[in-house]
Structure 1
């Protein structure tokens, strides 16, 4: 039995890198997985066998430390949350949604802002306090421009020896970012559809690419993330500055809405928490509460 990692999943085949020989083996999965409703994911560490004809079979999926549903990938160390500051315009609400889902999966998020070269000086002065706020609550924020080639070296250092997922809405420059760091990736990049104001979906499947001694996944662009896995009490733990203050709330399990002596609401009132972050939290909380129960 050999040990490997799934680098690509496509049309029912799993492309597994043999950890010993570094050879890429085309594998199918055992029927047993289908019966148990288990799907091998890109990023999975697996045991596999190779037949005399060179084809392989995934025999066992080793324990996962985490998994994402959308994109379908496992064992992620780091998430590069890529947002453009222009074309399309920066969306704090969508960023907060991404951060909440990533925090819920206990993956470290790094915020990567693209297309910084497109901002006017006035636009830069408007976005600077928002960027500073995310840094103050503990997030690493990397400002980049693929066109002007700045900010990229910092990302290369981060992904060394890591499994990294790169995510964000369509058209923000994820594929351009990867190609500018390593042109051999040759990932297809489309111009933004100006009529729609959003990018076309250029990435067709999830695949781990080797980059800077790490593995990075370029994933299909999408414009929303489900909060299905979160319960109301979980959400505030995914807003890092809320979680830090929640121990000072009067009530354990405080949802930071109508409860008296809430440390989070007090922090919003005195300007320590960004009002838009709190508003986004309330919207997400309403969404989670109105979700139909699963039976």
Structure 2
């Protein structure tokens, strides 16, 4: 039976792309519902084609990872789009995204959009420099400068990437520059609500530069539902680097004495806002009501 990749899921149908470029509209077999298996965009699947256009998914091949928001599987890279303004750049929201992405073993690429709205913001540039210093790739972009936006293309080659971020930060605008023929719908920020309207209604993989890119529904809140408190420290790369010098193995960097991470925060080698976010994330997880 043929194999392929689910590139779109909509209204109970799964659109499977095969190596020869053909797309077959498939339904999932009843056994998936019985076994509580939900095929996701990005899944590699085995399917049975009834004809050239329709078929049934027979099996979902093992996943290397999966995300809940957005619902997608087998992602290599997450392009986290955050605007310089409208909505205002938020380090706490960026760090939430980074922790969740790191916990899934997905490589993040930080893309700060709408730089044209800033005359010069040393504070924002300082944030960008700090994230670069701890190992993240950071691109400063503007849809007013299409050639600048195209700097992202090499990062997409032969990878499956997901574009994520708040509504209104410019995710669809970014894709429209990379592939103008898509003509994806965009909306301005709501002046009343201070945030963008949701312009993307479903998850769909699109081929760009020999890779796949997913445009996803915008969202403005993330919860650490699949994480334990002790896992969070491993999602801060600068903590991991310093932790080898902590007195206690498995140091949580909270109340332990002779903690190298806390010492680095005091010396301003680690950004204090990152440490504050870490503490608040751990407390949030600990305060989470147990699920039964």
TM-score (normalizing by structure 1):
0.97
Q: 1:101 — aligned with what?
A: 100
CA contact under 8 A between 2:23 and 2:53: conserved in structure 1? Answer: no
- Structure 2, unpaired ranges of 5+: none
Q: 1:230 — aligned with what?
A: 227
- Structure 1, unpaired ranges of 5+: none
* Secondary structure of residue in 2 paired with 1:132: helix
Q: 2:123 — aligned with what?
A: 126
Count of matched residue positions in the alignment of Structure 1 and Structure 2: 292
* Secondary structure of residue in 2 paired with 1:151: helix
CA contact under 8 A between 2:114 and 2:141: conserved in structure 1? Answer: yes
CA contact under 8 A between 1:232 and 1:255: conserved in structure 2? Answer: no
Pairing partner for 2:143 from 127, 143, 146 = 146
Q: CA deviation at 1:151?
A: 2.9
**Counterparts of 1:1-295 in structure 2 under 5 Å?**
1-19=1-19, 21-52=20-51, 54-121=53-120, 124-295=121-292
Q: CA deviation at 1:254?
A: 1.5
CA contact under 8 A between 2:24 and 2:52: conserved in structure 1? Answer: no
Distance 2:141 2:94 in 1: 17
Distance 1:208 1:219 in 2: 9
CA contact under 8 A between 1:72 and 1:206: conserved in structure 2? Answer: yes
Distance 2:270 2:167 in 1: 29
RMSD, aligned α-carbons: 1.0
TM-score (normalizing by structure 2):
0.98
Distance 1:18 1:135 in 2: 37
Q: CA deviation at 1:230?
A: 1.2
Q: CA deviation at 1:148?
A: 2.2
Change (3 A) 1:206 1:247: same
